[in-house]
Structure 1
Amino acid sequence: MTTERNECVARRQSGRRAQGELENEVLTALRSASQPVTAAYVHQRVGRGLAYTTVITTLTRLQAKGAVERQRAGRAFEWTAVADEAGLAALRMRRLLDAETDREGVLARFVTALLPDDGQLLRGLLARTDEAEG
């Protein structure tokens, strides 16, 4: 049985989503909309037994992370995604790095732990960034 399948089975048994899964589902619902949407819209798409307040809390946390924006629409808010799943993961990584006092140590450990293909990908991305800045 694959790890992903094990996680799905465990989640069904416990009734809990994996860490970050709800945020990703909320972002997916927002990105699939052609315009800003209400929390009720998001709740209809990802609710499946969730309290409406859980959706509001998730949207608020995503806003604090810079992944979504909201604008007043009458008495409610309308929400828009400004980050995709990769952007949200990058925000999480940046927040973790910013919380550490030894940035160099953390980055060095991260880079040395990369798989060879990921290391090559990172070098290519850094080279492109250097070219764009230079």
Structure 2
Amino acid sequence: MDVLWSASKPLRVREVLKTLNGGAAKPLAYNTVQTVAERLVAKGMVERAPDGLAFKYAPKRAREDYVVELMLGALTESGDHGAILTRFAESMASEDARELLEALRRRTSGKPVP
């Protein structure tokens, strides 16, 4: 997913493979990358479009949206949201905490969060 999120355009399996194997000690096989790409399509994380005899793959949503979904999923699994949110806020770097606080201020004031 990191390769697809970092790309400026949809990629063929061969392009993903080239990026992944760029500095790899043990290169991946083409079929391995193709299988993973197809599984990501089946899970709804990636979309594919025909490109000649092959397909090009692109993420269906931004990395940020995916991470937010993971965080909200983890939060809903807890019975005590307040305790989890407090621990999360206390665990983050000061700069991140300031950004979170500013986003919460904008949200509660009715101003859109960029």
Q: Helix, strand or coil for the counterpart of 1:97?
A: helix
User: What is the correspondence of 1:109-128 to structure 2 with a 5 Å cutoff?
Assistant: 109-128=87-106
Could you tell me which of 84, 91, 95 is aligned with 1:106? 84
- Within-5 A mapping of 1:1-134: 23-28=1-6, 31-33=7-9, 36-47=10-21, 48=24, 49-60=27-38, 62-63=40-41, 64=43, 66=45, 68-73=46-51, 76-98=54-76, 100-102=77-79, 104=81, 105-130=83-108, 131-132=111-112
> Cα distance, 1:46 vs. partner?
1.9
| Closer, same or farther: CA 119–102 of 1 in aligned 2, 3 Å | same
Q: TM-score, normalised by structure 2?
A: 0.61
Matched-pair contact (CA < 8 Å) for 2:11–2:56: yes
Amino acid at match of 1:109: R
Q: CA RMSD in A?
A: 3.2
Give the unaligned 5+ runs of structure 2: none
Give the structure 2 partner of residue 15 of structure 1.
Answer: none
| 45 and 96 in structure 1: CA distance in 2 versus 1, 3 angstrom threshold | same
Q: Gaps spanning 5+ residues in structure 1: where?
A: 1-22
How far is the alpha carbon of 1:101 from its aligned partner?
Answer: 3.1
Query: 1:62-110 CA distances to partner (integer Å, 9 max, x unpaired)?
Result: 54363x3223456643212344554444344344334x23250322221
Asked if 1 retains the 8 angstrom alpha-carbon contact of 2:4 and 2:11, the reply is no
Percent of residue pairs bearing the same amino acid type: 26
